[in-house]
Amino acid sequence: MSFAFERIEIPDVVLVRPRRLGDARGFFSELYRASAYAAAGIVGPFVQDNLARSGPRVLRGLHFQAPPHAQGKLVHVVRGSVFDVAVDLRRRSPTFGRWVGCELSAESGEVLWIPPGFAHGYVVLSDGADLAYKVTEEYRPELDRGVRWDDPALAIAWPLADPVLSARDLALPVLADLESPF
């Protein structure tokens, strides 16, 4: 098996295209191999696997976990499709406050690497979606943070004008009011 690793507009965020072997029965795809990812500069350890199910038009995010247990995430859609976004929160980064987004789907099988120091969010484009993701640190509720999804300073080009949001996500601060811990 093999992988193609593409550094997108913010080079620390990587789109991974696993090779699929298919025939009339379906396909087989290797989603993660530590040695291949390490050779591309994506190093674990990955210590927790998560599964999130969301209905149509649901927007989750933009979330991150603060240091000293900041999480890197390997995101993969196993059902449906989403528009997935990463926002650079690293104050010393030349891309601080910039975002990158791409469509991920079960059909494409692509995986997105979002390193620590980024906020993550997505909106469901299909009738529903299931996302599976590996993280580099265990979840710590006391370090759970976020930034507002519709912050005008970020100007994220979400593909839906009227997403379904949680009360928590509606109450998150804009980037200018966030004391970035990165």
Cis peptide before 67 (omega within 30 of 0): no
pLDDT 10s digits, 20-49: 999 999 999 999 999 999 999 998 899 999
Please provide the CATH number assigned to the domain covering 3-177.
Answer: 2.60.120.10
pLDDT more than 70, % of the chain: 99
CB 60 within 8 A of CB 162: no
Give, in order, the Cα–Cα distances in Å from 43 to each of 20, 65, 87, 128, 136.
23, 18, 20, 31, 9
pLDDT of residue 127: 98
83 falls in which pLDDT band (50, 70, 90)? Answer: very high
Q: What integer best gives the mean pLDDT of the chain? A: 96
pLDDT of residue 93: 96
| Catalytic annotation, pick one of 76, 120, 122, 133 | 133
Is 133 an active-site residue? yes
What's this model's pTM, rounded to 2 decimal places?
0.94
Instruction: Give yes or no for residue 1 having a pLDDT over 70.
Output: no
| Catalytic annotation, pick one of 32, 37, 63, 139 | 63
